[in-house]
A = this chain, B = another copy of it.
Amino acid sequence: MTGVLVVDDDPYLLRALRITLRAHGYDVTVAEDGRAALAAAARTTPALVILDLGLPDMDGVEVLAQLRGWSQVPVLVLSARHGSADKVQALDAGADDYITKPFGLDELLARLRALRRRSVDDAEPPLVATDAFTVDLGKRRVTRDGEDVRLTPTEWKMLEVLVRNREKLVTQQQLLSEVWGPAYAKETNYLRVYMAQLRRKLEPDAAAPRHLLTEAGIGYRFLT
């Protein structure tokens, strides 16, 4: 099932979209502000995002920019404004399509189909393997020596964020806000505790990690 994240502050539109999209076979998640949207995107990893630019807590373009920091998910931007400056700004910030309110639902659905059609090509296999363990992002499973490794929800979320950003350095703030929420951006203790647990469960030698690396003072990095 195709997951769609709908971000809008208008409860009526949200409701209408949820019903329509569900009727057309999408698995819908909703968010009413930018903060919730970013959290939901990290949690549910949708295949498509519909983003209204007018949000109560932050600018839609800012939401888009932050999302683009770690995700390539296709984004369809909604806006009430017809000005071409807004369109240009949103498209250059990383939006894949732009549609102005009011719009027809059939057009919206057609644009979603067009976006999805394009993204299936570069859909990566959600399977990441190292010489010590294998992570299946789709099935939410980790295997080591052919055996399933049992991870707690928090351990899994943390590993997921790191694996989705493989090779890349993930800052402590990024990890904390995607796993625990933005309010926990100072609790770097959590990272140490859970990183130690992940290493104990996954690394051949937890004292000399080769896949879950520490970048002192900045964050962590996952290498295959």
Which residues of A come within 8 Å of B, CB atoms?
72, 74, 84-85, 87-88, 91-92, 94-98, 104, 106-107, 109-111, 113-114, 117-119, 121-122, 138-141, 152-153, 156, 167-169, 215-218, 221
- A139 and B106 form a contact (CB under 8 A): no
Known contacts A74-B118, A88-B110, A94-B117; 7 further A-B pairs (Cβ under 8 A): A85-B106, A88-B106, A88-B107, A92-B114, A96-B114, A140-B218, A152-B217
- A216 and B152 form a contact (CB under 8 A): yes
CB distance from A164 to the nearest CB of B (A): 13
A153 to B215, CA, bound (A): 8
A108 to B122, CA, bound (A): 25
User: Which residue, A74, A87, A94, A167, has most C-beta atoms of chain B within 10 A?
Assistant: A87
- A139 and B111 form a contact (CB under 8 A): no
CB distance from A170 to the nearest CB of B (A): 9
A10 to B113, CA, bound (A): 30
- A72 and B121 form a contact (CB under 8 A): yes
- A104 and B118 form a contact (CB under 8 A): no
User: Which residue, A84, A118, A216, has most C-beta atoms of chain B within 10 A?
Assistant: A118
12 A-B residue pairs with CB within 8 Å: A72-B122, A88-B109, A91-B111, A91-B113, A92-B113, A92-B114, A98-B111, A118-B119, A138-B168, A139-B168, A140-B169, A153-B216
